[in-house]
Structure 1
């Protein structure tokens, strides 16, 4: 005679990109890493398309992020400061992005003593403002559909900062092996 109780569902396997890295101690970390890969690629695709819609085409994700950071708080930035805030070790990548943005006329450099600083030009600020408007229309308006989502995003941002520190520490440990 069949049981009146339905069989309990089998636990779902973690969704990961590298099954060989799944640890018995934390399958969740492998799930997180896969989510980070997918979300990171989606974010990069989004910022490039958003900036293209704003009128600046053919930028890489790093170009877009550097322009936003150089525009941030309307303060001149040094290359080392940009790299530090963005957690980028290879200054050549950021320097290349800055040169490209200067060539497009959206970033200008200035010599201050021994330092060179970078700031957005009026044109650069206009593109960033247009990006903001498109972001509001295409992305932020979608958040209004779920009231609790902003709170969840805030908690996720906090967790990402914590995990960033853990990954940085693990990278230092791995580099010493």
Structure 2
């Protein structure tokens, strides 16, 4: 069985677990995770297709995310700001994305710090044009669709709050699990 087939089988097992064998809260968590997988895939598809409609197709998801974060509030941001705002800890990938955006001329250094971590970046005019085009596509399609449904704004605000809380719970659960794995493997004193 291939790795992809094994993962598909695991997902199918989660989705088809008999409801009588798991608690109501576990059923709710299962349903949330399944919806999160669907949402994540749909959001990734949206970003890919929206980026595909941009004047340049040189950006991948990471670079587009970095460019959007650097565009936020019109203030220069460094690597640690980008990592925090994107909730990512893969600094090497973010550094690569920053280098790519610099080489494409979509961002520029706003300050040279004593180290790479202290250097801040801002979008250039072409970089701002890409973000503005993305935002216009989003306004013309997604925001219009969301706006056509009554009560959606309040529901999205509540969902946003819940997603932030769940992000914290997943982070905490991951930390707990990592420490337990370390204990099990004898890596912790």
TM-score range, shorter chain: 0.7 to 0.9
Instruction: Report matched runs for 1:91-102 at 5 Å.
Output: 91-102=91-102
| Inter-CA distance 75–140: structure 2 relative to 1 (3 Å threshold) | same
- Please list every run of at least 4 consecutive aligned residues from structure 1 whose deviation after the TM superposition is greater than 3 angstroms: 20-23, 110-113
TM-score by length of 1: 0.84
Partner of 1:55: 55
1:17 aligns with 2:11: yes
Cα deviation per residue 1:105-158 (whole Å; 9 max; x = unaligned)? 111124433221111011101111111111111111111221111111111101
* Runs of 5+ unmatched residues, structure 2: 1-9, 181-189
CA–CA distance in structure 2, aligned partners of residues 43 and 97 of structure 1 = 20
Partner of 1:13: none
Structure having the larger proportion of residues in helix: 2
Contact 2:69 2:82 in 1 (8 A): yes
Contact 1:106 1:123 in 2 (8 A): yes
Partner of 1:4: none
Contact 1:83 1:89 in 2 (8 A): yes
1:126 aligned to which of 120, 125, 129: 129
Partner of 1:3: none
Cα deviation per residue 1:50-79 (whole Å; 9 max; x = unaligned)? 122121314222221111001111111110
Greater Cα offset, 46-55 or 134-143 = 46-55
* Runs of 5+ unmatched residues, structure 1: 1-15
Larger Rg: 1
Q: Counterpart of 1:17 in 2: which secondary structure?
A: helix
CA–CA distance in structure 1, aligned partners of residues 48 and 60 of structure 2 = 7
| Inter-CA distance 139–20: structure 2 relative to 1 (3 Å threshold) | closer
Contact 1:101 1:107 in 2 (8 A): yes
Q: Counterpart of 2:119 in 1: which secondary structure?
A: strand
TM-score by length of 2: 0.79
1:147 aligns with 2:150: yes
Using the TM superposition, give the Cα deviation of residue 18 of structure 1 relative to its aligned residue in structure 2, in angstroms.
4.6
Partner of 1:36: 36
**Number of residues of Structure 1 aligned to a counterpart in Structure 2:** 162
